[in-house]
Amino acid sequence: MGHHVIKLPDVGEGVAEAELVEWLVEDGQNVREDDVLASVMTDKATVEIPSPVEGKVIWRGATIGEIVAVGAPIIRLEVDGEGNATDTDTEIEAAKPAKEEKHQPEPKQIVSNGAIASETQGTAPVQPKVKGANTPPQAAPSGTMRAEGEAPLASPAVRKRAMDNGVDLRRVPGSGPAGRITHEDLDAYFQNPSPSVSGGRAPDTSVLETQVIGMRRKIAEKMATSKSRIPHITYVEEIDVTALEELRRKLNAERGERAKLTFLPFLMRAMARAISEQPQLNALFDDDAGIIRQYGGMHMGVAAQTDNGLLVPVIRHVEARGLWECASEVARLAEAARLGRCSRDELTGSTITITSLGAMGGIVTTPVINYPEVAIVGVNKMQTLPRWDGTQFIPRKVMNLSSSFDHRVIDGWDAAVFVQKIKSLLETPATIFIED
Amino acid sequence: MQNLSCKLLVIGAGPGGYVCAIRAGQLGVDTIIVEATADGGTCLNVGCIPSKALIHVANEYEKANHFAAGSPIGIEVSAPAIDLKKTVSWKDGIVSRLTGGVGALLKKNKVRSVRGRATFVDGKTVTVTGNDEQTTIRAENVVIATGSLPVELPFLPFGGDVISSTEALDLQQVPEHIAIVGAGYIGLEMGTAFAKIGAKVSIVEATDRILPTYDSELTKPVAKRLKALGVDVHLSTKATGAKDGALQIDGPDGAMSIPASKILVTVGRRPSTEGWGRENLVLDMDGPFIKIDEKCRTAMSGIYAIGDVTGEPMLAHRAMAQGEMVAEIIAGHPRQWDKRAIPAICFTDPEIVSAGMSPAEAEAAGYDVETAIFPFAANGRAMTMESEAGFVRAVARKGDHLIVGLQAVGGGVAELSASFGLAIEMGATLEDVAGTIHAHPTQGEALQEAALRTLGAALHI
């Protein structure tokens, strides 16, 4: 019998570490070749780690939520034959704390019902757990176990007290043996009549702790980086999209087999036109190095809410795509994101971002820039509102664009010019398509 | 002609009625109670109390006879004799002390007593016909507590030598041969007592077992004792009539006649629903009984019914609990029937006591139960009293061990009914009873041991 040590493989170009998000095997479990042992998550993708050999799991080198360096041993199997292990267990164990120290200097954030509590190390159980510090002890299951039609179990004194106070004992959970209702249970009921049955209001003092791991942690880190490093300036302007909507309706009516046009392809094309005049907005600001990289190609991230969390698939080279091409690419990536099938390349490399919540878009948002980009355009909801045309109020379809800019490198004037250009293009949609 | 009015009128001063009136009086309810005969009803006058007096005398006499025959415990007596006339007069003394006590309690609690036969005129008005005058009583609330009467068999009408339990308790001399029809608890209690005071007793029962409402595990020691006392028990046998100082029966061995100087018919009791003007009311019935709800309300507003007239089990303590409850309801308290157990006792030899459900009843009610018995043969106190027959049985729900039934058969086990009832009413689990110190040496230890044994942890067996 020998030991086979599996190390975290290189899971992507330039990836030095990955977060362990799931164990699919237990200690002592027998695994066959190609059985999936664990899932790790890199910046954008989740990668499954298969077993290269058949054997029995005897050691797992990371807990869920832990950041593991590429090349670090993560699992040890007992195998027939010699195995590949030359190092000793002690070496593995000794290597671990240093690694943890390096990659987890900051305490983990635990979201606890609105309040933020911190926990020191990432060894806590992953499953959400309810801490019932203040929950009354009589919330016992026995109360609900009473069979239908069965009389509640209580001493005659408790029954009399309940009757005198107009309490139906069937509604009182019993904490005693066999679900017996005690005087203390009645006390508790008087304090806080059972919410589940009476339908009344009751304070819920439970605290649900969920360890922030995986995608959520990525999002949290990204948002924190963006907001802490970038001084945002947000600029909101109203766009009259009556003409654009008319055009969109016509084009969709005649689209045939092509993907349906949403508002997004028009916005993308308008932004491409605006950026051709203000290319400094299509850039990444490497603030550590103090370098702004202005890109010729316009790679537009489109923030999308999926079941797996917030994803930002990237439509590459919008400057080179027509309206319909933009539409089909948006549709394709949206579907891929929804199914969790986006490749790493499809989720990285954006130079500017659009964020839209559609009908949920509100009237104003303050979008958070997709660091290290310098601009993000947020789409608010479209509505029909009265607007003054000089002689009368007329109904117009209007929507706001809420756009944020990195104020370190983009001046307010430039931001305003950019948005006004987009407004001009969208309000007179023909100009989007007129060649210079 | 007298006119009275009150907030509460109770008809019948048996255990249900007088308790209702006393409690109502305590709660300040203006109350009148009407009784045609003596306070105390069947229970005090011709039921529970006099029968227990007779049973006590029979036991003492039988004990003396036992000693006279040469006993292992070292007591020697010469042949005893019994003067039943004197017995009955002693019994009457106890009855009159108790009924007098009831009257005093009613008076103490400012309850007005009206002697006479009550008849409903309408739902709020009752006329009482006494010896020399008629009283009309108008009441806001009326409680019907008219009780029950012995069932009469058409082919064995009461009269002459065919008697009910009432007359059996007043016999001035020991009958030479008494034939008892019905092996329910009244027939067996009386039969056992008469056998012990020297009568030749034959019992005829239509079903195939004695005490048909109790399971055979409990009745077996009683059947054994009846045999030892020389009582002839004819099961699956019907009485067909009386002729020439004999009871005619028809059973597995064909028709025959049993010589009988007295024929005691104890085939049950029927609710007393006639003779008090029920026809002037609109009461819903439940079979032969007055239908009541969980507050003992009848179909008519302001009219309540309690006790034997409302159904089984026809037991004094059920009537008392109902009476107390109704008084409190009328006084304005929120009350409803929520009792978990009404213990029942047979003062046979040995005694049987049952509270809650038997194993079979519990299973029929859908419970998954576990049960165990603890025999008195393993109980020190029982041995010292020469009373080793019988056992205590615990019936508990599987899983949470909630005690749903407690039964016992054995000498003097009637007194265990208190702890049985308490355990069930309090919602005790087997662990509660097992964890309670039961004083040594007592028969009550058998209860603790039965609970322990059901848990698989008996110590003394």
Q: Quick one: which H or E segment has residue B43?
A: helix B41-46
Partner-chain contact A177 B426, CB within 8 Å = no
Closest residue by Cα to residue B343 from B319, B369, B317, B363: B317
How many CA atoms are closer than 13 Å to the CA of B131, on its beta-carbon side? 2
Partner-chain contact A180 B335, CB within 8 Å = no
> DSSP assignment, residue B265?
E
What is the maximal distance between C-alpha atoms in chain A?
Answer: 93
**Contact residues, chain B to chain A, C-beta under 8 Å:** 333-336, 338, 340, 366, 397, 400-402, 425-427, 429, 431-432
> In b/e form, how buried is each residue of A347-375, taking b as 16+ CB within 10 angstroms?
bbebbbbbbbeeeebeeebebbbbbbbbb
Partner-chain contact B427 A142, CB within 8 Å = no
Lowest mean pLDDT among A37-46, A161-170, A405-414, B84-93: A37-46
Question: Does residue A248 or residue A112 have the better pLDDT?
Answer: A248
Just give the CATH number of B162-267: 3.50.50.60
Residues in chain A closer than 8 A to B333 (CB atoms): 163-164
How far apart CA A202 and CA A261 sit, in angstroms, is 49
pLDDT digits (tens, 9 = 90+) for B155-176: 999 999 999 999 999 999 999 9
> Residues A23, A163: one domain?
no
How far apart CA B284 and CA B273 sit, in angstroms, is 12
> Residues A411, A318: one domain?
yes
Number of A to B CB contacts under 8 A, please give it: 37
Residue A111 within any structural domain of the chain: no
Look at residue A309 in the predicted model and tell me its pLDDT.
Answer: 74
Q: Could you tell me the end-to-end alpha-carbon distance of chain A, in angstroms, rounded to an integer?
A: 74
Check whether A123 has a pLDDT greater than 70.
no
Look at residue A195 in the predicted model and tell me its pLDDT.
Answer: 54
And the tokens for B420?
Answer: 């049985």
Q: Which CATH number covers residue A26?
A: 2.40.50.100
Q: How confident is the model at residue A436 (pLDDT cuts 50, 70, 90)?
A: low
Residue type, A363: I
Q: What are phi and psi of B447, to 5 degrees?
A: -65, -45
Handedness of CA A356, A362, A364, A368 (dihedral sign): negative
Domain boundary among A72, A103, A134: A103
> Residues A176, A241: one domain?
no
B110 in Cβ contact with B25 (< 8 Å): yes
Q: Report the 3 state secondary structure along chain A.
A: CEEEEEECCCCCCCCCEEEEEEECCCCCCEECCCCEEEEEECCCCEEEEECCCCEEEEEECCCCCCEEECCCEEEEEEECCCECCCCCHHHHHHHHHHHHHHHCCCCEEEEECCEEEEECCCCCCCCCEEECCCCCCCCCCHHHHCCCCCCCCECHHHHHHHHHCCCCHHHCCCCCHHHCECHHHHHHHHHCCCHHHHCCCCCCCCEEEEECCHHHHHHHHHHHHHHHHCCEEEEEEEEECHHHHHHHHHHHHCCCCCCCCCHHHHHHHHHHHHHHHCHHHCEEEECCCCEEEECCCCCEEEEEEECCEEECCEECCHHHCCHHHHHHHHHHHHHHHHHCCCCCHHHCCCCEEEEECHHHCCCCCCCCCCCCECEEEEEEEEEEEEEECCCCEEEEEEEEEEEEEECCCCCHHHHHHHHHHHHHHHHCCHHHHCCC
Residue A413 within any structural domain of the chain: yes
Look at residue A196 in the predicted model and tell me its pLDDT.
Answer: 52
Look at residue B406 in the predicted model and tell me its pLDDT.
Answer: 98
And the tokens for A81?
Answer: 């034959």
CA–CA distance from B244 to each of A25, B160, B162, B241, B247 (Å)?
Answer: 94, 12, 12, 10, 8
Residue A407 appears among annotated catalytic residues: yes
Which among A164, A166, A178 has the least Cβ separation from residue B427? Answer: A178
Domain tally, chain A: 3
C-beta neighbour count of B318 within 10 angstroms: 23
What is the rounded average pLDDT of the residues B4-28? 97
**Which positions ≥6 away from A393 have C-beta within 8 Å?**
A386, A387
Which own/partner contact pairs does A115-123 have at CB distance under 8 Å and 24+ positions apart? A117/A209, A119/A211, A122/A63, A122/A65, A122/A66, A122/A211, A123/A63
Residues in chain A closer than 8 A to B432 (CB atoms): 177
Partner-chain contact A178 B334, CB within 8 Å = no
Look at residue A95 in the predicted model and tell me its pLDDT.
Answer: 43
Look at residue A68 in the predicted model and tell me its pLDDT.
Answer: 84
Residues in chain A closer than 8 A to B402 (CB atoms): 153, 177-178
pLDDT digits (tens, 9 = 90+) for B47-76: 999 999 999 999 999 999 999 988 899 999
CA–CA distance from A233 to each of A236, A283, A368 (Å)?
Answer: 10, 16, 10
> Residues A46, A185: one domain?
no
DSSP B57-68: HHHHHHHHHHHH
Lowest mean pLDDT among A95-109, A243-257, A363-377, B314-328: A95-109
Q: How confident is the model at residue A125 (pLDDT cuts 50, 70, 90)?
A: very low
Lowest mean pLDDT among A90-99, A107-116, B7-16, B392-401: A107-116
Which among B333, B397, B427 has the least Cβ separation from residue A154? Answer: B427
What is the rounded average pLDDT of the residues A63-73? 83
For B425, which residue in chain A has the nearest alpha carbon? Answer: A155
Check whether A144 has a pLDDT greater than 60.
no
What is the rounded average pLDDT of the residues A92-114? 41
**Which listed residue (A232, A287, A407, A414) is catalytic?**
A407
The verdict on ipTM greater than 0.90 is no
Distance from CA of A164 to the nearest CA of B (A): 6
Catalogue the active-site residues of B: 440
Distance from CA of A218 to the nearest CA of B (A): 48
Residue type, A251: L
> Residues A274, A156: one domain?
no
What is the rounded average pLDDT of the residues A208-224? 86
Look at residue A126 in the predicted model and tell me its pLDDT.
Answer: 42
> Residues A194, A238: one domain?
no
Look at residue A201 in the predicted model and tell me its pLDDT.
Answer: 66
Check whether B288 has a pLDDT greater than 70.
yes
Partner-chain contact B336 A163, CB within 8 Å = yes
**Which positions ≥6 away from B157 have C-beta within 8 Å?**
none
Just give the CATH number of B344-454: 3.30.390.30
Check whether A114 has a pLDDT greater than 60.
no
Q: Is B55 helix (H, G, I), strand (E, B) or coil?
A: helix
Partner-chain contact B401 A151, CB within 8 Å = no
Residue A291 within any structural domain of the chain: yes
For A155, which residue in chain B has the nearest alpha carbon? Answer: B426
Identical fold for domains B2-46+88-150+270-330 and B344-454, yes or no, is no
B145 in Cβ contact with B305 (< 8 Å): yes
Q: Choose the most confident range, by mean pLDDT, from A17-21, A146-150, B245-249.
A: B245-249
Partner-chain contact A151 B338, CB within 8 Å = yes
Per cent of chain B over pLDDT 90 is 96
Question: Does residue A47 or residue B29 have the better pLDDT?
Answer: B29
CA–CA distance from A242 to each of A239, A269, A426, B214 (Å)?
Answer: 9, 18, 10, 89
Domain map (residue ranges) of chain B: 2-46+88-150+270-330, 162-267, 344-454
Look at residue A339 in the predicted model and tell me its pLDDT.
Answer: 81
Closest residue by Cα to residue A431 from A246, A215, A273, A323: A273
Which among A147, A156, A178 has the least Cβ separation from residue B429? Answer: A178
Residue A137 within any structural domain of the chain: no
Look at residue A407 in the predicted model and tell me its pLDDT.
Answer: 96
Look at residue A18 in the predicted model and tell me its pLDDT.
Answer: 83
Residues in chain A closer than 8 A to B426 (CB atoms): 155-156
Residues in chain A closer than 8 A to B400 (CB atoms): 142, 177-179
C-beta neighbour count of A331 within 10 angstroms: 17
Lowest mean pLDDT among A319-323, B204-208, B215-219, B409-413: A319-323
The whole model's pTM is what? 0.61
**Which listed residue (A35, A411, A414, A436) is catalytic?**
A411
Q: Which CATH number covers residue A426?
A: 3.30.559.10
Let me know if domain B2-46+88-150+270-330 sits in CATH 3.50.50.60: yes
Q: What is the mean pLDDT of chain B?
A: 96
Look at residue A100 in the predicted model and tell me its pLDDT.
Answer: 42
Residues in chain B closer than 8 A to A147 (CB atoms): 366
Place of tokens 């699992």: A75
And the tokens for A300?
Answer: 């537009």
Partner-chain contact A163 B401, CB within 8 Å = no
pLDDT digits (tens, 9 = 90+) for A157-201: 999 999 998 888 988 888 988 889 999 999 999 888 755 554 556
> Residues A338, A423: one domain?
yes
pLDDT digits (tens, 9 = 90+) for B99-140: 999 999 999 999 999 999 999 999 999 999 988 889 999 999
Domain boundary among A198, A214, A238: A198
Q: How confident is the model at residue A258 (pLDDT cuts 50, 70, 90)?
A: confident
How far apart CA A302 and CA A316 sit, in angstroms, is 11
Question: Does residue B405 or residue A77 have the better pLDDT?
Answer: B405
> Residues A62, A180: one domain?
no
Domain coverage including residue A272: 230-433
> Residues A28, A169: one domain?
no
- The packing angle between helices B417-425 and B445-454, to 10°, is 40
Closest residue by Cα to residue B258 from B181, B198, B195: B181
Partner-chain contact B400 A142, CB within 8 Å = yes
For A169, which residue in chain B has the nearest alpha carbon? Answer: B338
Look at residue A76 in the predicted model and tell me its pLDDT.
Answer: 87
What is the rounded average pLDDT of the residues A249-269? 89
Q: What's the count of helices (H) and strands (E) in chain B, helices before strands? A: 13, 24
A253 in Cβ contact with A435 (< 8 Å): no
> Residues A389, A301: one domain?
yes
> DSSP assignment, residue B277?
-
Q: Is B435 helix (H, G, I), strand (E, B) or coil?
A: coil
Partner-chain contact A177 B429, CB within 8 Å = yes
Residue A206 within any structural domain of the chain: no
> Residues A98, A170: one domain?
no
Residue A164 appears among annotated catalytic residues: no
Closest residue by Cα to residue B427 from A255, A39, A42, A178: A178
Distance from CA of A180 to the nearest CA of B (A): 7
**Contact residues, chain A to chain B, C-beta under 8 Å:** 142, 147, 151, 153-156, 159, 163-164, 166, 176-180
